[in-house]
Every structure is written in structure tokens, then in C-alpha cells.
Amino acid sequence: MEKPLRILIIEDSEDDTLLLLRNLRRDGYAPVYQRVDSVEEVETALKTQEWDIIISDYVLPHFSGLEALRLIRQKELDIPCIVVSGRITDETAVSAMKAGARDYIMKDNLKRLGAAIERELAETEARRERKKAQDQLQEVSEKLYLVTETIQDAFWMSSPADGAIAYLSPAFEEIWGRSRLWFQRLPQSLSDTIHPEDCQQYAESSRKHAEGKDYTVEYRILRPDGSVRWIYDRGYPIYGEDGQVVMMTGVARDITPQKLAESNLKSAESNLRNMANRLVRLQEEERRNIARELHDQVGQSLTGLKLMINQAMRSPKENANSVLSEAQLVVTELIRQVREMSLTLRPSMLDDLGLLPTLLWHIERYTSQTGIKVNFEHQGLQRTFGPEMGTAAYRIIQEALTNVARYARVSEVSVQISADDDAISLIVEDFGRGFDLSKVSTKESAGISGMRERAQLLGGSLVIKTSPGTGTCLTAELPLNKTIANQSASTSDSPPHN
């Protein structure tokens, strides 16, 4: 099967052209050709068509093969050119080869023309494939460079033999807080940034790096500003054609946010366990208190009452009245004790009347018992709250006032509470002794922990600001669930008051 061949012939002789074509057909080619013999015709032919090969005579009347070769080279065309001449010396042959000719053949010996063309076409195809591969490699390299220069992870490449750093991406500077050039000049200084507690696992990864092995490691680094960051580092080898490791490369990722989230989660889980354990302890302590009150007060009163009734039943009628009168006083005291216990456990008016009346009652009772004046300001409490919300607000204020009576040594205290559509906000402030919050014992902080836990269980917060001699200010924020915190219809038009 004949091989198609597009050929540009630079020749002034029609007979010589026919001779070339006859030899090409004999060698199995089916040439499509154009014969030209001037600079203008050559330029036009190169512009208008694509050619597989150019065959040029060395000497023409108004043109030369050297000029044609220079023209082709100026246009940077990858078209092989073979010089075919009737007379050519070694000197002119060297000049032709320097000008870009791929071969030269004498017109009286065209037998090797076909083989020369086949060789040049194969080499041209190989050059074009290499050029295509190089262009593709360049494109991939540019894209890879663009990616490594812009990703947030730190991309690196280094020698497994001596640890010399070949490349560090810009993200390295952002994560480490140090110049890339510094580490490239002094690769060993990288180990100086490792947290002392993580040096062992970093050394193990360095050993695998030197051996050209895959590795994954997590470690902490110390930045120049003193901050600590967690790094997830993955390294893997790059192999050469001989199967040997020529380079180690990998990605170092800043996983500090994930580590902080894990730490916060563990802390939250620990706090939740502590809160649950504390709740159990408080329940048991409350049961013991109730049992003690029932035994020591109510039990004794009931025992005395029973003895009085037995005495009245055995006494003469005229003496029974005095015994019953005394028993009546015991019943009255017993009723007071039971009522006091009930109020301590949970004031019934909190469910019957709401938060504001219960606070007013408690403050009045608190002042009568302690002698401490309470400056009470309230706003937006003319509504009903869910039982959890009302109980939390009441208990926090109750505990805060109890602490004031125990420790503050003041004659008055300020209580402010307000509610809007979003939250209940309350402040209890005194200007008493104050204290060092960090030195409060576990037993003394039970009340503080209880108040804080009540707020946190509702998604709120509680903050205490105090120091010795400056008083104490407790601030709590309890977010409201709008589905259960509705404005009471009967008090919706009542103005807030202080």
C-alpha cells in the first residue's frame, strides 16, 4: 500500500522533479507535491499548506538551498529538509547541515532517498511526540504549582538521603509562622519547632522518611509567638525509573481546630458526668436532710403529742383540758414545721401564683430572718414561665441571697431581674467582703456549682465577679423557649414596675 507524502520541492528543473517523484513512487510513496523556485513561492507554499518534508536543490538561478533553509528556520517550522543536488562538495554539505538540512543526496544517486525520507519522518514524529509530552508535563507542572501555592495545607518535598528540602508551599509559613527559606537553608531547624512531648513520634517519622517509607504522624509545633498548633503529617516516597526512592513528598495539615473541638467535647462530657454525679449526691443529701428533719423535729413532736393524748385519756376529766391545751400548742408547732419543710423543698406559690409573687414573698421573709434589706427591681415578670425556668430563676436568687447572709457581712443587697422575649436576666450584687473565687473549697463551692449547673441545663450562663474587699456580683442569663414563655393575658396591659 502506497504511503501518502506531502512534499514541497524547491527545484528549477522540471525533469529533475519528475526523476525525484519516480524514485519516491518506486519506494512506495504516493507523493502530493508542489514545485517552487523563488523566495516568494516558498513563503506562499509554507503559509497555505502543511508539508511532511521539503526537498531542495542546493543551487538555483535566482535562489539557493541555503536561503530556503534559513527561511524555514526563521519561521521555526519543524519540517525536515533534505538537500538534493547535482554537484555538492564536503564544504557546501557542511554549510547545508549547519543551516538546518537533515541530509544531502546527490542527484545521480537517489537510491537512498526513500530511506532518508522514512528516517526523517520517523524522527520528526518522535520529536513532535516529545514536544507534546513536554507541553503536557509543563501544563501539569503549572497546575500543580498553582495548587500547591494556594492550598491551605503545607505541601513539601525533601531528599530522603540527607533531609534537604526541595520545596515548601506558602501555607507552610502560615502554619509554622516562619520563613520557608529559613527551613530550606537549615532543614535540621524544623525539629526545633516540635513540642518537647512529641519529639519521640516525630523522630520515628523522620526515621521512616530517611528509609523512604510511607508514614503518618501527629505532633504539635511551637510557633514564634508561643502558640501551639497540632499537625497531621503524611509522607510518601517518589520512585525513579530504576525503582529507587528519589524523593519524599507529603502534606502537613493544621488540625488544631479539630483537636480543640475534641478537647472541648471531652471536657463537656466530663462536666456532664460530674453534673450527673453531683445531682445524685445532692439528691442523697436532700433525702438525708429530709429524713433528719422528720426524725428530729416532726418525729419528736408526734411522739410528744402521742404521750400527751395518752396522758389526757388516763387523766380525770377536770385535768384533761389542760393536757389537751398543751397538745394543741404542739400541733400548731408541728404544722409550722411541716409548712417550713414544704417551703424549703419548693414553695407551692411558685406553681400557683408564679415567679414574681414567690420572689416578693421570699425577699420579705429573707429580710425578716436576716435583717438584710433587699433592693429589689424587676421588669417583664407579668407572665407565666415554664416550671424549669421559674424554678431555676427562683433557686439562683435564693442561693445567692443565702450566700450574702452567710459571707458578705452587709446590711443590704441589690437584686435585679428582667425578662423579655428572649431571656430572663438577673443580677445579685453586694458590696461586702468578697472573696478569691479560685481558693473556694469544694464544699463551699457547692452552692456556686449548683447555680451554674441550673443555668447551663437551660442553655444559659452564670458569671461571678468578685475579689477580696470589693464585693460580689452574680450575673445569670436564662434563654427562654417562646413556646412556653407566654405573656399572661390577664397582665398583658400591666406596665412593668420596679
Q: What is the pLDDT of residues 293-322, one digit of tens each?
A: 666 677 777 777 777 788 778 778 777 777
Residue 227: pLDDT band with limits 50, 70, 90: very high
pLDDT at residue 445, as a whole number: 66
What are the extents of the domains in the chain?
A: 3-131, 151-254, 260-342, 346-491
Close Cβ partners of 54 (under 8 Å, ≥ 6 residues apart): 7, 8, 9, 10, 68, 72, 79, 80, 81, 82
pLDDT in tens, 199-217: 999 999 989 988 889 999 9
| Cell of residue 233, nine digits | 503529617
What number is the average pLDDT over the span 466-488? 75
Query: For the domain bounded by 346-491, which CATH number is listed?
Result: 3.30.565.10
Does the domain at 151-254 match CATH 3.30.70.1890? Answer given as no
Question: 331-342: per-residue pLDDT in tens?
Answer: 887 777 776 666
Lowest-confidence region among 2-6, 7-11, 342-346: 342-346
For 184-227, where are the E strands, in sequence order?
215-222
- 429 bridge partner residues: 414, 473
Q: Are 204 and 217 in contact (CB under 8 A)?
A: yes
In CATH terms, is domain 3-131 a member of 3.40.109.10?
no
Amino acid at 240: G
Mean pLDDT for the stretch of residues 46-62 = 84
Q: Which residue has the higher pLDDT, 190 or 367?
A: 367
C-alpha cell at 354: 408564679
Tens of pLDDT along 126-177? 888 888 777 776 665 555 565 555 567 888 888 888 888 888 888 888 899 8
CA distances from 318 to 312, 313, 327, 361 (A): 10, 11, 16, 44
Count of Cβ atoms closer than 10 Å to residue 178 Cβ: 16
In this model, does residue 459 exceed pLDDT 70? yes
Q: In angstroms, rounded to a whole number, what is the distance separating the alpha carbons of residues 88 and 64?
A: 13
Between CA 65 and CA 39 the distance in angstroms is: 10
Q: 225: Cβ–Cβ under 8 A, 6 or more apart, which residues?
A: 177
CB-based burial label for 427 (10 Å; 0-12, 13-18, 19+): middle
d(CA 492, CA 119): 102
pLDDT at 442: 52
Q: Is 477 helix (H, G, I), strand (E, B) or coil?
A: strand
Q: Residue 115 pLDDT > 90, yes or no? A: no
391, 371, 411, 401: which is closest to 474 by C-alpha?
A: 401
With a cut of 80, say whether residue 480 has pLDDT above it.
yes
